[in-house]
Structure 1
Amino acid sequence: MTSGGAGSAAPSPGPDWRLARNPQGRLVLTDAQGQAHVGVVPVRAFPIAAPDEGVSLVGTDGHELAWVARLSSLPVQPRQLIEEELAVREFTPVIRRLDAVSTFSTPSIWTVNTDRGQTSFVLKSEDDIRRLAGNALMIGSGHGVAFLVRDRLALDAHSRKLLDRFL
C-alpha cells in the first residue's frame, strides 16, 4: 500500500510490521526485515475531519515507516498503542458550552465548558476562529491551545448567541 506522502511506499498493517512499547515507554516499530525503529510517532493526516483515516507512523528521522489507512481496521493491541500516543500529542478540548465572554470586542476572555472541564481563555482576535467542514469551528486561544466546536448549531441557545457575536 502506498503512503499519503510523496508517493513513497510504506508497509500496511499486518504481517509487514509489529508495534510495541519499550521499557522506556517509547513506541517501537519492527519492520518486515526485523529492523526495530525506536521512537516512532503516529501522525494523523486529517485530525479533525477524519481522525480514523490516514495515520502515518514516522521515524525519528521524519520519514514515514508505515501507513494506516483506517485506524479502526488495526488489531486491538497496535490500535491501542497508537491511540495512547495520539492522546498525549493531541490536546484539543471540545467546547460543549460557552458560559460567558468578558466583552463582545477582542481581546476578550471566554469562559467555556469543555469535555475536559471548565476553563477560561483569551480570544485575541476574531481571526482566531476558523470555520471547518460542516458547522465545526477551531478556536485558538491566546496561549496557543486550540479548542474545537464540533457543531456550532448543536450548542445551546445561550452559547450560540454568544458565539454569533464573533462570527
Structure 2
Amino acid sequence: MSDVQSTQSKQFQLSRNAFGKLIYTAVGDDEVHEGVVPVRAFPIAAPDVGIALVSTDGRELAWIEKLSDLPDAIRLLLEEELANREFLPEITQIKHVSVFASPSTWTVATNRGDALLVLKGEEDIRRIGESALIIADTHGIQFLIRDLKKLDKHSRKLLDRFL
C-alpha cells in the first residue's frame, strides 16, 4: 500500500484486493472503501489534471490535482484503472471511407491499432472545443481526434466531406 497526500489535506492509502478492485483507506480514521473508482474531471482537455476518487455510492473520497504529483505506486494504480475503465481510441489517420454518404465504413489508424468503424450519420461526429472531435460508431465505441490540424492532408480531406 502507498500513502498519498490529497489536496484536501487528507492522507489515504490505495491498494488492490484479490479481485482487482481498488481499496481506499483514509489514514487516521481507518475509513476503508472497496471498489473506489477514479473519475477524470476533464478526460479530453486535461486527462492528467483533476481526478476524483469516488466510492461505490457516488461520494467523492479524495481529489487529486495532478497525477504527476503522486508517488509512482499510486499513479500507476490509477493510470491502470483509468485505462481499463476508459476505452477511447485516438484516430491518427483516416485511411479510407467506403462512401461519402451515411452509413459509411471507415478504415482508420488509431493509437491502439487499425480499426473499422461504421458511421451511421453525420450527427455522430461531435466537436469538442476548437480542434477536437468525437466520432461514435454504430456499436457505441467512441473514437477521438484530439487535434484536426495534426491529421495528414488526405485524412482531413476525407473528414471534411462529413463536417
In the superposition, the TM-score normalised over structure 2's length comes to 0.91
User: Aligned equivalents of 1:85 and 1:69: distance in 2?
Assistant: 17
Deviations 1:124-160 (A, max 9, x none): 1111111112311111111111101111121111111
1:19 paired residue among 14, 25, 37: 14
Change in CA separation of 1:83 and 1:13 when aligned onto 2, cut-off 3 Å: farther
Letter in 1 for 2:23: V
Task: Give runs of aligned pairs for residues 1-167 of structure 1, distance below 5 A.
Answer: 12=7, 16-32=11-27, 33-167=29-163
In structure 2, distance between residues paired with 1:134 and 1:29? 38
CA RMSD of aligned residues (A): 1.4
Give the deviation of 1:75 after TM superposition: 1.2
Contact 1:137 1:148 in 2 (8 A): yes
Gaps of 5+ in 2: 1-5
Corresponding residue of 1:8: none
> 1:66 and 1:14 mapped to 2: Cα distance?
9
Higher strand share: 2
How far did 1:66 drift? Answer: 0.8
Secondary structure (helix, strand or coil) at the match of 1:17 reads strand
Structure 1 alignment gaps of length 5 or more: 1-10
Structure 1 letter corresponding to 2:112: R
- CA distance in structure 2 between the aligned counterparts of 1:39 and 1:14, rounded to whole angstroms: 22
> Take 1:109 and 1:13, find their aligned partners in 2: how far apart are those partners?
48
Deviates further, 79-88 or 27-36: 27-36
Task: Give 3-state SS (helix, strand or coil) of 1:137's partner.
Answer: strand
In the TM superposition, structure 1's runs of 4+ consecutive aligned residues that sit over 3 Å from their partners are: 11-15
Q: Which letter does structure 1 place at the counterpart of 2:94?
A: L
Task: Give aligned pairs, total.
Answer: 157
Aligned partner of residue 116 in structure 2, secondary structure: strand
Letter in 2 for 1:28: I
2:45 and 2:38 map into 1 onto residues whose CA distance is 17
Question: What TM-score do the two structures reach when normalised by structure 1?
Answer: 0.89
TM-fit CA distance, 1:12: 3.2
Matched AA of 1:140? A
How high is the sequence identity, in percent, across the aligned residues? 55
Secondary structure at the aligned position of 1:46 is classed as: coil
TM-aligned CA deviation for residue 71 of structure 1: 1.5
